[in-house]
Amino acid sequence: MTTAQTSPVLIGRTTELVALRQAWAGAAQGRAQTVSIGGDAGVGKSRLLTELRPDVIASGGLWVLGTTPAQAAVAQPFAPLISALRSLLRSVDQPRRVAVIGPARAELARLVPELGDSATGPAAFDQMTGSVGRLFELVLDVFHRLAATQPAALIFEDLHWADRSTLDLVDFLARNLGGDRLLLVVTYRTDELHRRHPLRPVLAELHRLAQVTSLLLPPLTRDEVGELLAVLTGAVVADEVVDRVCERSSGLAFLVEELAAAGLDLDGIPRGLQDLLQIRVDTLAPDVADVVRAVAVGAAACTVPDDLLMAVTPMPAADLARRVREAVSHGVLTTGESGIDFRHALLREVWRPTCSQASARGSTRPTQPRSLPTREPRTTRPSRRGSRSIGARPMTCRGPRWPRCRRDAPPAARMRSPRPPTTSCGCSIGGATSTTLRACSAMPGR
Ligand SMILES: Nc1ncnc2c1ncn2[C@@H]1O[C@H](COP(=O)(O)OP(=O)(O)OP(=O)(O)O)[C@@H](O)[C@H]1O
Ligand SMILES: [Mg+2]
């Protein structure tokens, strides 16, 4: 059986694609629109966007794509704008280039040196007081001139990695494009937006505007995962395999593809994928990682009630809550009514201690996270699709649950259980009761 790397057909996303096409239709008629597409890493934001491209080209529009470099230590000022301007320059011939860039040439050359001689270099706009506002006006004028000759889709991908000035520019453009034949589309990862991420307030403001449409992509449903697997493998996939892939991938298309490419191995994690998942692990501070390890022992069997976590991590509740919050904002853990868990099953698998590690400790009741088995940080290796860190919302796939996972048991039932929850290795993780941690770790906006 040959497995395709990606599906030639878009699975699901009917409503979102209709909304995107409508936005383009409005923009092409001179009512500038903005669409934000959010969703977890690998859920299919770029793919949805790509489906619009043929429509734009067929209706005589220009596709202007600006990308943001992944996970740079310091975000390059205006990276998506620079990338978009280069995309624009590549797409139009010289006379039109001159006309569209017009009087902005000398100043835009500070960002895109190939536009002309620049003595000051690409970062100059960020350092010159007052010049950012002028740059915004110049950019707006460029897009006014472009749209006067041809409708265009202007895309800024992966804004979660963009610098603050780019976010301000997006806000400025969304408010000021007005009657232009322009569709502005921005994408961002929801699982990268920790509580103080600068994109959060920008999105909140944008979403109040009438000309802005917000699309939040949920994970693929269980049936959609089945459809995707069938297309990728070219065969009907057994129900139990679909269930397992759905549970492990949390309906994230990228993870479904990776698992399919690995031959639908029901238990192992493909090496490249494991490395990608490890990136998320490696970003945690050591004290936060300790708590995640403690959750890993319990979450091997089910969601860990927060009072059980308190029992096995002897530290002040506020300190534990802070660490849990950190792990949540890094997209590793998730908190809910039932307690604390990993954001998706594959992450849980990466963190899960092996039985030999657990029994080597010679204890069935760990009392400190530090005493739990540890994973050495590993050097990460790019997968076949390059750098991508993964995190996801809790599983929303519909259909039968994987039988080994008893997450559907009501929390209250677990709490009243005569025996405390055990790991898959048979280790008890504690049995105290308290609701302090839940109160401390309640997180707004996640
Ligand atoms: N609805 C879908 N139908 C078929 N394939 C899909 C679908 N959604 C995504 N894919 C495939 O899954 C992979 C990941 O999708 P994509 O790159 O669009 O995710 P993303 O949300 O943009 O991720 P990132 O946050 O890393 O940019 C791609 O190979 C894409 O073709
Ligand atoms: Mg993408």
Residue 157 located in a structural domain: yes
- From CA 56, how far away is CA 62, in angstroms rounded? 7
Tell how far the Cα of 316 is from the centroid of ligand 1, in angstroms.
Answer: 42
Q: State the closest ligand 1 atom to the C-alpha of 10, by its place in the atom list counted from 1.
A: 3
* Averaged pLDDT, 165-178: 95
Tokens (6 digits) for 357: 């590690």
Residues 136 and 285 placed together within one structural domain of the fold: no
Q: Where would I find the H helices in 361-410?
A: none
What's the pLDDT score for residue 264? Answer: 74
- Among 189, 221, 254, 393, residue to substitute to test ligand 1 (most atoms within 8 Å of Cβ): 254
Same domain, yes or no: 367 and 436:
yes
pLDDT at position 215 is 98
For residue 237, tell me if it sits in a domain: no
8 A C-beta contact, residue 166 and residue 80 = yes
**Ligand nearest the Cα atom of residue 71:** 1
CA distances for 173 relative to 194, 240, 378, angstroms = 25, 48, 42
Contact call for residues 302 and 421 (beta carbons, < 8 A): yes
Are both 304 and 436 inside the same structural domain?
yes
Q: Is the CB of 391 under 6 A from ligand 1?
A: no
Domain containing residue 187: 14-216
| The ligand 1 atom nearest the CA atom of 158 | 27
* Pairing relationship of beta strands 333-336 and 339-342 according to DSSP bridges: antiparallel
Share of the chain above pLDDT 70, in %: 71
Q: Is the CB of 50 under 6 A from ligand 1?
A: no
367 and 285 in a single domain? The answer is yes
Distance, CA of 140 to chain centre:
29
pLDDT of amino acid 423: 30
Structural domain tally of the chain? 2
- Does residue 45 line the site of ligand 1, with CB under 6 A? yes
When pLDDT is cut at 50, 70 and 90, the band that residue 30 belongs to is very high
One domain, residues 183 and 102: yes
Please report whether residue 145 resides in a domain.
yes
Confidence bin at 402 (pLDDT 50/70/90):
very low
pLDDT of residue 176: 95
**198 and 281 inside one domain:** no
**Which of 186, 216, 246 corresponds to the end of one domain?**
216
Is 380 in the same domain as 299?
yes
Q: How far is the CA of 256 from the centre of ligand 1 (A)?
A: 10
Would the pLDDT of 56 be above 90?
yes
Per-residue pLDDT tens over the stretch 212-242:
999 999 999 999 999 999 999 999 899 999 9
CA of 65 to the centre of ligand 2 (A): 12
Closest ligand 1 atom to Cα of 11: 3
State pLDDT tens for residues 187-217. Answer: 999 988 877 899 999 999 999 999 999 999 9
139 lines ligand 1 (CB under 6 A): no
pLDDT at 308: 82
In a domain, 434, yes or no: yes
- Looking at 216, 239, 258, which one is the last position of a domain? 216
Residue nearest (by alpha carbon) to ligand 1 atom 16: 44
- Distance between CA atoms of residues 88 and 100, nearest Å: 10
Higher pLDDT among residues 268 and 383, named by residue: 268
Residues 422, 299 share a domain:
yes
pLDDT for 370 equals: 27
Res. 394: pLDDT tops 50: no
Residues with CB under 5 A from ligand 2 (ion): 45-46
Domain shared by 192 and 296, yes or no = no
**Structural domain ending residue among the three candidates 193, 216, 239:** 216
Residue 96 lies in a domain: yes
294 vs 431: which has the higher pLDDT? 294
Domain assignment present for residue 205? The answer is yes
Strand partners, 336: 339
Question: Residue 362 falls within a domain, yes or no?
Answer: yes
Any ligand 1 atom below 6 A from CB of 155:
no
- Residue 341: both structure tokens together: 């868990």
Q: What pLDDT score does 1 carry?
A: 55
Please tell me if the CB atom of residue 304 comes closer than 6 angstroms to any atom of ligand 1.
no
pTM of the entire structure?
0.73
* Alpha carbon of 37 to ligand 2 centroid (Å): 10
Strands of 152-156's sheet, edge to edge?
62-66, 152-156, 182-189, 33-39, 212-216
Tell whether ligand 1 has an atom less than 6 A from the beta carbon of residue 254.
Answer: yes
Q: Same structural domain for residues 421 and 318?
A: yes
Are 212 and 285 within one domain?
no
CA of 39 to the centre of ligand 2 (A): 9
pLDDT, average across residues 109-133: 65
CATH number for the domain that contains residue 144: 3.40.50.300
Per-residue pLDDT of 252-299, as tens digits, reads 999 899 888 877 766 667 776 777 777 777 778 889 988 888 888 765
pLDDT, average across residues 307-330: 86
Tell me which of 5, 37, 40, 46 to substitute to probe ligand 1's pocket, judged by most ligand atoms within 8 Å of the beta carbon: 46
Residue 106 included in any domain:
yes
Ligand nearest to the CA of 253: 1
* Domain identity same for 200 and 284: no
